[in-house]
Amino acid sequence: MTTTQQDSVHAFRALHTSDRPLALANAWDVASALVVESAGAPAIATTSAGVAWSLGRPDGDALTRDEAVAAIARIAAAVTVPVTADIETGYGDGPDDVAETVRQVVAAGAAGVNIEDGTRPPADLAARLAAARDAVGDDLFLNARIDTYLFGLGEDGTRLKETLERAHRYVEAGADGIFVPGVTDLDTVAALAAGIPVPLNVMVGPGAPSVAEFGAVGVARVSLGSGVAQAAYTAARRAAQELLGTGGYAPLADAVDFGELNALLSAPASRHSSE
């Protein structure tokens, strides 16, 4: 790993603090990443769903490793801030495959990854995290995603306990952070933050508490997940419905200026050509 990437990983780790939670508006291609960066984002996170949709695939491990890594490489080369990549379950059947995935992700320029457990046994993700840590050492921030709340796994009365047990298991296996999507209740989130010894990441959206409110109960990172990509595709549908229905164009009124967006896409080429 180059000195520049070492600096990127170090900078990315330092962004995880509840004093000022890392707010991530997830991107799925170079243009969306540059738009997010231009808004002042200190880091870029990818959304596996957005990447998959942009390539004509459904979310849920439908991407190949090569497709996922290529998307990460394009984004990492285009922006100047650290990039963390959603790599789903790691693109492979077992720990050795995950080890190869994270080696390629590091080579692509990413500073971090999310790896999820989904409905698999916790032992499976623990083994994948351990393999990833062995493969790249401290050269990558490993964020372990726990899907107990997102998928409603287990009983309501024991879900918090199960989540904390998984979190400790994943930290022991090498996780640097824990991501628990599907829960925004501040009391529950506060209990998670108090019981997890590494930075806690939650997924947010309309109706959720603010970033500052999450920080006040111990959250170090908040993510929009696939929400930005969904909003973008919603904008496309609304524009089409208006055009085909009433013949109007109102949904285009707040669009990013053509020249501004075009300039963002021109900047990376000139920046890298001068290095």
186 burial type by CB count under 10 A (0-12 exposed, 13-18 middle, 19+ buried): middle
Give the per-residue pLDDT at 4: 81
The residue with greater pLDDT, 274 or 199, is 199
Chain segment 216-249, per-residue pLDDT in tens: 999 999 999 999 999 999 999 999 999 999 999 9
Instruction: Kindly tell me if the per-residue pLDDT of 275 is higher than 60.
Output: no
Number of Cβ within a 10 Å radius of residue 30: 18
CB contact at 8 A, 100 and 92: yes
Q: Sorting pLDDT into bands at 50, 70 and 90, what band is 274?
A: very low
Q: Tokens in use for 159?
A: 């879900």
Tally of residues, the chain: 275
β partners of residue 200: 178
Give the per-residue pLDDT at 135: 98
Give the per-residue pLDDT at 2: 62
Q: Tokens in use for 180?
A: 């628990």
Q: Tokens in use for 152?
A: 């409603």
CA angle at 224 for the pair 265 and 36, rounded to the nearest 5°: 20
Q: What are phi and psi of 44, to 5 degrees?
A: -120, 130
Give the helix/strand (H/E) hosting 211. helix 211-216
Instruction: Kindly tell me if the per-residue pLDDT of 146 is higher than 80.
Output: yes
Chain segment 59-105, per-residue pLDDT in tens: 999 999 999 999 999 999 999 999 999 999 999 999 999 999 999 99
β partners of residue 115: 144
Chain segment 41-57, per-residue pLDDT in tens: 999 999 999 999 999 99
Q: Tokens in use for 108?
A: 């692509």
Using DSSP, state whether 139 is helix, strand or coil.
Answer: coil
The DSSP call for residue 88 is T
Give the per-residue pLDDT at 154: 87
Sign of CA dihedral 60, 103, 165, 184: negative
Q: Sorting pLDDT into bands at 50, 70 and 90, what band is 33?
A: very high
Give the per-residue pLDDT at 268: 56
Chain segment 162-195, per-residue pLDDT in tens: 999 999 999 999 999 999 999 999 999 999 999 9
Structural domains for the chain: 3-225 (3.20.20.60)
Strands 22-24 and 44-45: unpaired
Q: Sorting pLDDT into bands at 50, 70 and 90, what band is 267?
A: confident
Instruction: Kindly tell me if the per-residue pLDDT of 125 is higher than 60.
Output: yes
